[in-house]
Each structure stands twice: as structure tokens, then as C-alpha cells.
Amino acid sequence: MMHYGHFPPFGFFFFILIIGLIITNFIMWRRGRGMCYHNRFDAINVLENRLAKGEISIDEYNNVKEILKK
């Protein structure tokens, strides 16, 4: 007996697997993007601290900050 319009048992599990992979991919993409933002933010904080301590000049600060913005 054929059941047209319904997934066979393997098709249903395959469909759930695909949906799970899409959701996992989206979550990993969002987390990866957030980490890049935080790393750039941390680098700028370190740069500002070095400028405040007098370890680097204003010219060096501006050059490195432009590189980090890219």
C-alpha cells in the first residue's frame, strides 16, 4: 500500500536531520560573528590602554586603529 503525500519513515528522519543542521549552522554562525566583534573590541581596548600608559605615540595609535577597523 502506497502513501502518497507523506514522507516514508527514512524521509521524515532525514527532514528532521536537515532542519537540525540548518539551525546548528545558524547558531554557530552567530556565535562566530560575535567572537570576531569581541576580539576587535578587546584589541582596541588594549591599544587605548597602551596609549594612556605612554607605551605608544598618537601616530602609532592611529595607524594601528585604522588597521583594526578593516
Predicted TM-score of the model (pTM): 0.43
Task: Supply the pLDDT for residue 51.
Answer: 93
CB 68 within 8 A of CB 47: yes
pLDDT in tens, 6-63: 556 667 788 889 999 999 888 887 776 555 555 556 888 889 999 999 999 999 999 9
Q: Domain map of the chain by residue range?
A: 34-70
- pLDDT at res. 33: 58
CA dist 3 → 6, 7, 8, 9, 35 (Å): 6, 8, 8, 11, 48
Q: What is the pLDDT of residue 41?
A: 67
pLDDT in tens, 52-70: 999 999 999 999 999 888 7
